[in-house]
Amino acid sequence: MKLRKVTAATAVVLALAVSATACGKDDKKDGGSSGGKKIKIGIKFDQPGLGQKTPQGYTGFDVDVATYVAKELGYNADQIEWKESKSMDRETMLQRGDVDFIAATYSINDEREKKVDFAGPYLLAHQDVLVRADDNSIKSPEDLNSKKLCSVTGSTSAQNVHDKLAPKANLQEYPTYSACLTGLQNKAIDALTTDDSILAGYASQAAFKGKFKLGGLKMTNENYGIGVKKGSDLKAKINTALEKMVADKSWQQAVDKNLGPANYKNEPAPKIGNIVK
């Protein structure tokens, strides 16, 4: 009797072990999040057309670029953990390892390259203005003199225009870009300034479709890169993924889908490592 009891118990243990092993194999074969494999990606949560968190999920050009890159790195969409990357936090997040990479309208410059590495660039943007669709009075930066020029509180965009290009511009600071858009629509301001890609994203929202247009002034060059931790081998892998995204036309499709409704005339996809000053 004792032998039979031990044998039965052993059989139960063996059955459980086989079952657990089978489950483990299925998880790995599945390749989804059940296998525990994750990648953490930093994006903006509040920039329509580029990186926005919505009740339906995450949308925007940066999101599409990051998702494509993640796939090339071996991660499915359900294996991505999105992290909000505010402008002031991006270098710190990479240095601490809070994220694997950041795609968040992240302009490459000398000061940032001292702290982190960049793959790309993957988009060449420019500082521009957004005006009402029926306003043809602003055709050059000088035309902003005596105009009410809006940007968000703390932004350097409007100040740059005032200091360097249009010293008589009447600067207006609003708490958000959406507030600037409302002011533009109500004629409380004449123009909103920041990167053209950001302006196109906001103007592409359904509520504003057809009401605004980009001025096409190209006042600065903003080379958007994907930030990685200093010395990370991800830089080379991400560059390979970006080159493939351009080659198979997925890059242009992402631009058209997210920024096209604002009649955004994008620059050609930049060459990897080619920083336009």
* pLDDT of amino acid 35: 52
Q: Residue 30: its pLDDT value, please? A: 35
Q: What pLDDT, on a 0 to 100 scale, did the predictor assign at position 209?
A: 85
CATH class of the 36-125+223-262 domain in this structure: alpha beta
Q: Dihedral of the CA atoms 252, 253, 254, 257 (nearest 10)?
A: 120
Q: What is the pLDDT of residue 17?
A: 42
Domain residue extents for the chain: 36-125+223-262, 127-214
pTM of the complete model: 0.82
HSE-up of residue 80 (Cα within 13 Å, Cβ side):
25
Cis status, amide bond into 121, omega within 30 of 0: yes
Segments of the chain with pLDDT less than 70 = 1-36
CA 49 and chain centroid, separation:
9
Cα(26)–Cα(249) distance, integer angstroms: 34
Asked whether the domain spanning 127-214 has the same topology as the one spanning 36-125+223-262, the reply is yes
Q: Tell me the CA distances in angstroms from 41 to 6, 97, 110, 142, 267, one per residue in order.
A: 52, 11, 23, 40, 25
CATH class of the structural domain 127-214: alpha beta
